[in-house]
Amino acid sequence: MFIEVVKSKIHRVTVTEANLNYIGSITIDADLLDAANLIPNEKVSIVNNNNGERFDTYIIKGERGSGVVCLNGAAARRVQPGDVIIVMSYCMMDFEEAKTFKPSVIFPDTATNKLI
C-alpha cells in the first residue's frame, strides 16, 4: 500500500511579491529550495497564515540569496506582500517506508527569508 506524506516544508516564510501579470507559480530563493529539498516545477501546496487561503501551484527557482518568495499569476490574488505562508510538497511511498521517513523541514527567518 502507498500513502501520501509530506516530503518537504518551508515553514513560515514571508511573501515578498505578488505578480498578477505572470504565467503562474511561486518563485522561491534557490537557497530555500536547496535547504528544503525542493526543485523547480515541483508541485507545492501553499497555506497563507494571514487569511487561511490554501492552494496548489508549482515552483520557479528564484535568485540565490535574494530571499524572494513571489506568488505569480492567479495565485497572486491569494496573498499580499508581507503575508506569512507555509510551502509543502508531498510524495507517495510505501506504508512501511513512510513510518521512518523524515521530511526536509526548514524554518527561515520571516524578517529576511534567510536560513537560520
Cell of residue 15, nine digits: 511573501
Catalytic (active site) residue 45: no
Catalytic (active site) residue 25: yes
Active-site option among 22, 58, 66, 90:
58
Annotated catalytic sites, by residue?
A: 25, 58
